[in-house]
Every structure is written in structure tokens, then in C-alpha cells.
Amino acid sequence: MMRKVSLLVLGAFLGAGTITLATQTRLLSQDSAHAAASHTYRYLNLFGDVFEKIRTDYVDKPNEKKLIEAAINGMVSSLDPHSNYMDAKSFRDMQIQTRGEFGGLGIEVTQEKGLIKVVTPIDDTPAARAGILTGDLISKINGDPVQGLTLNQAVDKMRGPVGTDVDLTILRGPGKQEKQIKLTRAVIQIKSVRYHVDGGDIGYIRISQFNEQTFDGVKAAIESFKKQIPAKKFKGYVLDLRNNPGGLLDQSIAVSNVFIDHGEIVSTRGRSADETQRYNAQPGNDISGGKPLIVLINGGSASASEIVAGALQDHKRATLVGTRSFGKGSVQTIIPLGQGNGALRLTTARYYTPSGRSIQAEGIKPDVKVLEDIPAALKGKVSSEGEASLKGHLLNGKHDKKGSDAYVPPDPKKDKQLIAAFEILRGTYKPQASPKASKSSKATDTTTASKSATPNSQKSVTPAPKPAAPASPAKGSAPSPDKGASPHP
């Protein structure tokens, strides 16, 4: 009896979904729609048969709730690397993360080939202080293998009471060199924006991720700079988005609007044409005073970071310095599933920069490429393979590109990308010598930097597609699990 009820409920739900799809696309004939529905019901019967066999014949009595959740997880995770099902606890944890405070170690993680992969350590957390690097693979937690665990289960094992220790077994580099690291759990307060004045004439802003506090933090930074730096002495801003895995869509739009006051910032396009949304800068929100702007990106810059970098680059408002970004060009929407049932994080759209380009699996190429000097012990161990390396990633024609280095020297005096940014603003920059680079390519880099970093750079704007009426960010739009909303242990 239970099996029949389950099938009726599932059949009604999926049948309704099929009708909705046919209505939206208006491409299927009535006959083909009925045929598709017939196939769907047949597969639902298969699911019901398997579920019932496990329920009645498995050697031990299974937990039926966990069986259903595992089936949902398998279905959703087969779509792409960024869609997943969150149970009630995981949903609560995600809400805490986007508010900017939670307990744990301070790392963004994803899952790759059964292991837990570090997307990026969060600034000023136990993970960052212990030397955990982008690209590290976590194979064991407190001596227990992570193989067989879901991503959320692994994250739960890394969380715990503040002040307690957790032992991680890390595999690093192409040779998978094993390393043991002990960390002490702490309350992770993500101050997503840090800033200071450099040399009395440049305002430096570091955004570690885009959470609910980010826009307010950037606004406070700019207001602080205006008070500290005389207008005639003010050379410009450095916006550091390196190793920023992304975050909330509305925050990336608001931060972009701080530096541009008109035109499109980003558009999102779903399955059908009527799902296209354009997000435009609101006049009066640009508080940057037109000062030159340098944006730092690298292989760890993704999602919301790429939205900001792409908008500022297309509007010729900023010079991008560093290495190719991660290439996550999709938008995930958080869909609550009712009280106690958790939520679905579902890829619902691709996003496009103002010029109409998709950076999915391609990334954003900097105007001025600057490579860091990676210590010998870390060579081959700190590169981000990018979106194109993720199994099941959304394709972008033949443009899929691998990622780039994601290393940022802990000592600012050795940080070539940061030094280049300061020198460009001060007019003393000399392009890096490259054995493979021709003289003409060097000249192009210098010209790009010179043109984009002028006080009037905002006036030279690449025409954007004709904007629709300003749309407010969809409530619940959120970053992705791999580069934007990865679980935070």
C-alpha cells in the first residue's frame, strides 16, 4: 500500500513538472508530451520497485528518510557540480554562512572524486593560519577516510565545539604528498571586507567573499579613504578579489554599482527567453568619485567575483591585473522545500557580462597578466584547475579553459600582482619580462593599463545590450557550492 501511495505522490509531482515544461517551451506536441509523460511514469515505477525491494528485503531495516534523501541527492548532484539538496540542518548552516558568522575551521570546500577539495582558505581563520592551500585534498578527518561521505557529512565532521581540535590528512600537489595538519576549531566571523590606505595615496580593498555584509563594508572603506586621503593626492583604488570564491548575487551587483553609475552590470538567462533578467547600475550609487581602479583576480576568483570583474572590465572602468579567473558562469537559486524539509540549491541560469560574453568554463582574462613567484616547495600545488576541470560542468562551446595559479604570497612585499597594481596607479609600472611574450604583446599590456587607469576611464564605456527595466535581485539567489557557496567547515 505504501508503495502505491508513494508512486501516486511522486507521479503527480513529476507529471505536473512535465506539464509545466511543455507549457513553457510550447515546442512539444500534445502527443509527444503524453509520450514523455509515459516514459516518466515508467521510470517512477522503476524507482518505486527498487525502493520497495530495499525497504522489505535489505538485510537490516533501512532508514526510509535517509533512503529518500540519498535518492534526491543522487538525482540533483548528477545535474552539475553546483546543484545539490540540503537537508534541514544544512539549510540552516547555509543561512548562517551567508550572514557571515559560524563555527568551524574557515575553509571553502567542494567534493572531487570522493575526496574533499579545498576551494580556498578564508582570511584570518584557523585554516589560513595553518597553511592550508587552494587545491589541497582532504582524505581523512580525525583518521577516518572521507571516501563514502557526502560533502555535507564531511563538513559536519570538521565542525564541532569551539576550542576543540580536528586532525586533517591533506594530499598536496600532483604527487599527492600526504601531510598531517592539526587545527583548533573557532568561531568564524567572516569580515568579508578589509581595507587600508597604502602610501598615503591609494585605497586598498580586499573582499574575501560576498556575504550580506559586503556592500556596507565597501561603502565604509571608500568613505574612510575620502577622509584620510586628500582629493588631489588620491591616486585610486585597488580592489582585491583574488581567491574570492563568490557569494550573493545582489551583493556583487551592489559592489559593482559603487564604481559605475549607469549601464548593465550583469544579465542572467534561464532555460527560456522570458526568464532573462538584466541588472542595471542605479544612478547616484557610484561613490568612487571616478578615481582610477585596479581589480586583482586569479584562479581562485569565481562566481560573484567574476561578475564584478567582468562588469568593471566591460565598462572600461578598471584594469584587471593577475591571472585568468576560475570560470564559474552559472547562478544557483536556493529553493526552500517547506518547513523541516531543507532546500534545493539549483542551477537556474547562466550569467553574462555587459558585453554579452559568458565566462562559464572560460574565466575572465586579465588586462595585465602578472604571475607570482611560487616557492619551490609549492610549485604545482597551488594552481586552481578551474570550472572546466569539474566533472559534469556546464559546457560553453569549445571555449573551455583550464584555471590558473591561485597563490597569493603572505608577505605583501613579495606580492607581484599587488605591487604591479600600486605601480600602475602611480605610473611607474613596467611589464613583466616573459620568454614567450613578443614585444607587441608587452606593448599591448602597457597600453591597456595606461588607458584603463586614467581618471576619466569611466567615461569610455563599452556599449551594453539595450537594458530592460531595472530588476531587483531574486530573493534567495545565492552562490554556488564549488565557487561561491561552498560549505564552510
pLDDT at 110: 83
CA dihedral 126, 193, 479, 338 (to 10 degrees): 80
The answer on 273 and 154 residing in a single domain is no
CB neighbour list of residue 92: distance below 8 Å, 6 or more residues apart:
none
Burial category of 426 from C-beta neighbours within 10 Å (exposed 0-12, middle 13-18, buried 19 and up): middle
C-alpha grid cell for residue 366? 586579465
The answer on 202 and 178 residing in a single domain is no
328 has catalytic annotation? yes
**Backbone φ and ψ of 265, nearest 5°:** -100, -45
- Given 6, 208, 256, 303, which residue is catalytic? 303
pLDDT at 78: 93
The answer on 152 and 51 residing in a single domain is no
- Does any domain span residue 489? no
pLDDT at 462: 31
- Given 117, 140, 316, 328, which residue is catalytic? 328
- Given 136, 250, 314, 415, which residue is catalytic? 314
Among the three residues 164, 189, 214, which one is the final residue of a domain in this structure? Answer: 189
191 has catalytic annotation? no
- Does any domain span residue 72? no
The answer on 255 and 232 residing in a single domain is yes
- Does any domain span residue 90? no
- Does any domain span residue 94? no
Among the three residues 153, 174, 189, which one is the final residue of a domain in this structure? Answer: 189
Among the three residues 154, 189, 224, which one is the final residue of a domain in this structure? Answer: 189
The answer on 311 and 411 residing in a single domain is yes
- Does any domain span residue 209? yes
Q: How far apart are CA 209 and CA 188, in angstroms?
A: 13
The answer on 174 and 206 residing in a single domain is no
CB neighbour list of residue 12: distance below 8 Å, 6 or more residues apart:
none
pLDDT at 400: 64
**Structural domain tally of the chain?**
3
The answer on 247 and 336 residing in a single domain is yes
Q: 272: alpha, beta or left, given left = phi > 0 and alpha = psi -120 to 50?
A: beta
pLDDT at 420: 98
C-alpha grid cell for residue 419? 605591487
As a whole number of Å, the CA-based R_g of the chain is 24
Q: Which of 422, 427, 432 is nearest to 454 (CA)?
A: 427
pLDDT at 276: 93
Counting every residue written for the chain, the total comes to 489
The answer on 222 and 139 residing in a single domain is no
pLDDT at 219: 98
SS3 breakdown of the chain: % helix, strand, coil, rounded to 5?
35, 20, 45
Helix (H) or strand (E) holding 30: helix 30-57
Q: Which structural domain range is residue 359 located in?
A: 193-478
pLDDT at 127: 93
The answer on 310 and 173 residing in a single domain is no
- Does any domain span residue 361? yes
Helix (H) or strand (E) holding 368: strand 368-369
The answer on 177 and 197 residing in a single domain is no
CB neighbour list of residue 450: distance below 8 Å, 6 or more residues apart:
none
pLDDT at 285: 96
CB neighbour list of residue 243: distance below 8 Å, 6 or more residues apart:
120, 134, 208, 298, 300, 301, 406, 408
Q: How far apart are CA 381 and CA 172, in angstroms?
A: 6
The answer on 277 and 180 residing in a single domain is no
The answer on 168 and 200 residing in a single domain is no
Largest Cα–Cα separation, the chain? 80
pLDDT tens-place string over residues 16-67: 333 333 333 344 456 666 666 778 888 999 999 999 999 999 999 999 999 9
- Please report, for residues 237, 424, 478, the alpha-carbon distance to residue 453 in angstroms, rounded to integers and kept in the order given: 10, 7, 32
- Does any domain span residue 85? no
Counting as low any pLDDT under 70, the low residues of the chain are 1-36, 100-102, 383-384, 398-400, 432-488
- Does any domain span residue 95? no
Q: How far apart are CA 195 and CA 221, in angstroms?
A: 6
Q: Write the CATH number for 114.
A: 2.30.42.10
Q: Write the CATH number for 253.
A: 3.90.226.10
Instruction: Work out the end-to-end distance of the chain between its first and last CA atoms, rounded to an integer number of angstroms.
Output: 42
Bridge partners (DSSP) listed for residue 206? 194, 240
